[in-house]
Every structure is written in structure tokens, then in C-alpha cells.
Amino acid sequence: MPLVGEDVGLVLRIISMTGATLYPLALSLLLPIFMYTIVLEKEEKILEMMKMNGLRMREYWLITFLFNFFISVITFGVFFLFGRYLLKLDFFTDTSIFVLVIIEPLSVPPPPKSCRFRCNPFAPA
């Protein structure tokens, strides 16, 4: 039986609420990418080799931040384009773009590298 009248509005509201609820959860899918880079660096001892070749830590952290930032921006862009133009979810169409730009970076869990950076003084020598 096809949905008509008020039923369609109710279904669209439920879909919009579900989408807004699952949006931060979907953004946490970036965590495996961040974890993969940490594990790869530890396994291959990439950071130690780069230090031996003259890499300064300032450049390392800058490149790491830029990599994580660009991956996040690409993910945010894909979610925004699909949510606003393809699926037309209320979360994306009714919310100001300015608010989304401010909230999106805050909704991603902090990269584990920052945890590694803070815990480094406690690492065994």
C-alpha cells in the first residue's frame, strides 16, 4: 500500500531524525584510517627512518595534521553532498552551512596520533 498524505511526512521526519543521529557515528569511520597509519608507522619504523634522514618533528606533525585534515574534509564533503543534494535530509538542508563547517571538525574523534604525542614522555626509553 503506497504512502499518502501525512504518512509520507512522518516517514520523512523519521528518516531525517535517523540520519542526524547516525551522522556522527558515520564520521567515526575515519578512525580505522587514522589507526592504520599509526600501526603502519610503528611496524615499518617509518618515523625513525625519517628522523635518521633529517626530518624535523615540526614538519612531521604538520604533514600528519594536513593528511588527517584533508581526509576529514573529503569525508565531510561526500556526506554533505549526499545529504543535502541527493537525499535532501533536513539535517543538511535546514542547517546553515556556516554551522556545519564549525560543527563537523568537532564531531570527529581526535586522531590517535595526538594521543601518541601526549603519551610519548611516558614511553620506555
Give the per-residue pLDDT at 107: 61
Give the per-residue pLDDT at 119: 54
Give the per-residue pLDDT at 70: 85
| Domain definitions of the chain by residue range | 6-118
Give the per-residue pLDDT at 111: 57
- pLDDT means per 10 residues in the chain (125 residues)? 67 78 77 82 86 87 83 86 85 84 67 54 52
Measured CA to CA, the distance from residue 82 to residue 92 in angstroms comes to 9
Predicted TM-score of the model (pTM): 0.68
CA 31 to each of CA 24, 34, 50, 71, 85: distance values in angstroms, whole numbers, following the listed order: 12, 5, 24, 11, 26
Give the per-residue pLDDT at 46: 85
